[in-house]
Amino acid sequence: MAGREPGTAYPSLALPEPGQQDDLLLFQQWLETAIPMAGRFGMQRLYWQDATLLCDVYLAPNLNDKGTGFGGSLMAQSTLLGWCWTTLWLRARGFRRDVVIAEATQRFLAPVTADYRLSCRAAEPEEPTRFAAQLDAHGKGRIKLVQQIHVDDRLCFEAIGDYAARPVGRRT
């Protein structure tokens, strides 16, 4: 949908069949069209490892003037991966919801000096169960997620974000 106007939502991707997982390659292709900036981050394939969503990322498109990872890119990518985690989790359970970041904090722990791995998981093991209960009771809810960036085994960046899911098209 090249040239869509601000305020015009991009068409949703069809939900997976009940009991089926999303095709992550198809989801990522949709994502990079629906959120054009996503295609410019150098994010490689999305993949799950247990309940953690991972993505390997090239450093080159995210360089700052010092030759390390630009903080703004790292923050945007962590927010995006949290949005993906939440959206994919909802889709796997048959929920079509609008997902937004409600609150986030970030810590920069070490310079990002090479291609890196970005990960996202629930902040606590009980978060998904609590989130599901909110959705069942109210049709909306919030979940706290942790995103991290590692270069090899070194933790360089950590973000904690609250993601809200609400009925599609609702502004509050």
What confidence score (pLDDT) does residue 1 get? 43
pLDDT over 90 percentage in the chain: 88
pLDDT digits (tens, 9 = 90+) for 2-44: 567 888 888 999 999 888 889 999 999 999 999 999 999 999 9
- CATH number, residue 84: 3.10.129.10
pLDDT digits (tens, 9 = 90+) for 70-90: 999 999 999 999 999 999 999
Structural domain count, the chain: 1
Q: With residue 164 as reference, give the H or E element that holds it.
A: strand 154-167
- Distance, in Å, from the CA atom of 43 to the CA atom of 118, rounded to the nearest integer, reads 9
pLDDT digits (tens, 9 = 90+) for 126-142: 999 999 999 999 999 99
Asked if residue 7 belongs to a domain, the reply is no
Asked if residue 1 belongs to a domain, the reply is no
Asked if residue 59 belongs to a domain, the reply is yes
Bridge partners, 107 (sequence order): 158
Residue 170 has pLDDT above 70, yes or no: no
Find the domain containing 151 and state its range: 24-167
